[in-house]
Amino acid sequence: MTTLAYADPSPYLPIFFMILAAIGFAVLNIAGSFILGPKRLGDRKGETYESGMTPIGTARKRFNVRFYLIAMVFLVFDVEIIFLYPWAATYTLLDPGSEQSLVWLGRILFFLFTTVVAYLYGYRKGVFKFD
């Protein structure tokens, strides 16, 4: 019995070349613009947004902690999508009405239920209150 451990590594060769190409592209661009690019520095050139709006204040100001709560609530959705998408893409391959398809439906409904619980918790916690 062939096991994975002794499998032929050659299918991974393109990935290796891809990594090489990615690193090479980045190095080439940075080195190229460093060597070839004209260097005319000045006040205008050094601004955050060249020929854009003038920045106001510092970027390192404090944000309201609520933004973190919103970010976390968003993450729940985000993770949900990660699971929903492959589920939806493969669900159509199952026989309609078969026992297996029911099990798959049950699984995703349970997963959606956990999200509902998470949002109920967030709602009771007052995450969605803005005052």
Place of tokens 């060597």: 35
Q: Which of 12, 75, 117, 128 binds other proteins (CB under 8 A)?
A: 117
- Per CB under 8 A, 103 contacts other proteins: yes
53 vs 93 by CB, closer to other proteins: 93
Residues 83-102 that bind other proteins (CB under 8 A): 99
Who's near 76: CB < 8 A, 6+ residues apart?
115, 118, 119
If binding is defined by CB under 8 A, does position 109 make contact with other proteins?
no
Phi-psi domain of 126 (left: phi exceeds 0; alpha: psi -120 through 50; beta: other): left
At its nearest, how many Å lie between other proteins and the CB of residue 99?
7
Among 10, 43, 124, 131, binds other proteins (CB under 8 A): 124
- Contact between 76 and 125 under an 8 Å Cβ cutoff? The reply is no
Q: Cβ neighbours of residue 9 under 8 Å, at least 6 residues apart?
A: none
| Residue closer to other proteins (CB basis): 25 or 74 | 74
We find the least distance from the C-beta atom of residue 117 to other proteins, in angstroms, to be: 5
For residue 70, CA distances in Å to 54, 66, 120 come to 29, 6, 14
Under the rule (CB under 8 A), what is the footprint of other proteins?
Answer: 1, 3-5, 99, 103, 117, 120-121, 124-126
